[in-house]
């Protein structure tokens, strides 16, 4: 029982010591620089355990105090930044007000200038209007005469335009009739030329066949020849086109062997045959 009372007394002493240490730390943080506090305590073996626990708690208290100091410093910095931002916004607002006042003064000056110019312009326009009304009054009779003359000119111009339209329509009809006749003649001429071309192509085919040296291996084969002839029918050039090689070479030799080919005296027919393509096939 006495031992329990001794432990209790030691615990009370330790708690009192812990309270004194905490109070000293808090006062040293907020009032004065940290200082050393020495407490002499007669410690029993049980008291040592309690004091060690108190020492651990005092470290936590110190950490808590440091965190409070950091939070206070952070809060101070935030407050300083907030105050700086408020001061900056206040300066900007003052500058805006000054600019707005300057712009307002300039706008008022511009309005005054515009109003003065508007009054001067109104006076000038009134004077111009009065002068214009006077001129209009003086010109009414002259304008009536001019209007009558204009109506007469318009009527005369309308009659001329109508006559010109009728003449243009007659000329158009005549042109269409002449064009129709020309097209009919051209079509008839083209048909005649084409018939002549086909006729002379047939004669040329006969001439080639007469001069063509063929053999049975050419049966069913053909060749396209590009033939150029002079005005008198003389062969000036022969080019081989698509077809069997042997057939093409022998057909070309037949044309060159003939030397001259039938040709028409008609210039239009000759123009079609002066340089033409002909597909030939040996008669076997």
Residues 223/244, Cβ–Cβ less than 8 Å: yes
Residues 194/223, Cβ–Cβ less than 8 Å: no
pLDDT in tens, 234-256: 999 999 999 999 999 999 999 99
Average pLDDT value for the chain: 82
Write down the pLDDT at residue 106. Answer: 87
| Distance from C-alpha of 109 to C-alpha of 103, rounded to nearest angstrom | 10
Q: What residues pair up with 234 in beta bridges, in sequence order?
A: 260
pLDDT band of residue 38 (cuts 50, 70, 90) is very low
In terms of Cα–Cα distance, which of 11, 17, 67, 65 is closest to 41? 17
Question: HEC states along the chain?
Answer: CHHHHHHHHHHHHHHHHHHHHHHHHHHHHHCCCCCCCCCCCCCCHHHHHHHHHHHHHHHHHHHHHHHHHHHHHHHHHHHHHHHHHHHHHHHHHHHHHHHHHHHHHHHHHHHHHHHHHHHHHHHHHHHHHHHHHHHHHHHHHHHHHHHHHHHHHHHHHHHHHHHHHHHHHHHHHHHHHHHHHHHHHHHHHHHHHHHHHHHHHHHHHHHHHHCCCCCHHHCCCCEEEEEEECCCCEEEEEEEEEECHHHHHHHHHHHHHHCECCCCCCHHHHHHHCEEEEEECCCC
40 CA to centre of own chain: 90
Give φ, ψ of 223 to 5 degrees. Answer: -155, 145
pLDDT band of residue 52 (cuts 50, 70, 90) is low
Give me the torsion for CA of 59, 65, 66, 72, rounded to 10°.
170
Which residue shows structure tokens 């080639």?
Answer: 208
Q: Give this prediction's pTM.
A: 0.39
State the average pLDDT over residues 25-50.
44
pLDDT band of residue 9 (cuts 50, 70, 90) is low
Residue 189: is its pLDDT beyond 90? no
| Distance from C-alpha of 173 to C-alpha of 169, rounded to nearest angstrom | 6
| Distance from C-alpha of 120 to C-alpha of 71, rounded to nearest angstrom | 72
In the sheet that holds 235-243, the strands lie side by side as: 235-243, 223-229, 275-280
| Distance from C-alpha of 276 to C-alpha of 224, rounded to nearest angstrom | 10
If one counts every other C-beta atom within 10 angstroms of the C-beta of residue 251, the result is: 31
């Amino acid at each position: 029982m006495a031992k329990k009372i001794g432990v209790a007394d030691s615990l009370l002493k330790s708690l009192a010591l812990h309270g004194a240490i905490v109070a000293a730390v808090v006062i040293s943080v907020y009032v004065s620089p940290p200082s050393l506090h020495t407490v002499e305590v007669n410690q029993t073996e049980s008291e040592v355990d309690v004091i060690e626990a108190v020492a651990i708690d005092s470290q936590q208290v110190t950490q808590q105090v440091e965190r409070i100091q950091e939070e206070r410093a952070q809060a101070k910095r935030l407050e300083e930044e907030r105050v700086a931002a408020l001061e900056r916004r206040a300066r900007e607002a003052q500058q805006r007000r000054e600019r707005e006042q300057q712009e307002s003064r300039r706008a008022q000056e511009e309005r005054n200038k515009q109003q003065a110019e508007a009054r001067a312009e109104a006076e000038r326009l009134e004077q111009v209007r009065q002068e214009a009304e006077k001129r209009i009054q003086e010109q009414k009779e002259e304008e009536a005469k001019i209007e009558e003359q204009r109506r007469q000119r318009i009527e005369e111009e309308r009659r001329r335009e109508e006559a010109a339209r009728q003449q243009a329509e007659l000329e158009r009809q005549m042109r269409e009739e002449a064009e129709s006749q020309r097209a009919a003649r051209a079509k008839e001429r083209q048909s005649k030329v084409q018939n002549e071309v086909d006729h002379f192509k047939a004669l040329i085919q006969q001439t080639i066949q007469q001069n063509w040296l063929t053999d049975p291996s050419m049966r069913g084969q053909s060749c396209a020849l590009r033939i150029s002839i002079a005005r008198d029918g003389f062969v000036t050039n022969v080019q081989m086109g698509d077809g069997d090689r042997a057939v093409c070479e022998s057909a070309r030799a037949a044309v060159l062997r003939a030397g001259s080919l039938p040709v028409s005296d008609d210039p239009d027919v000759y123009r079609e045959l002066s340089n033409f393509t002909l597909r030939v096939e040996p008669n076997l």
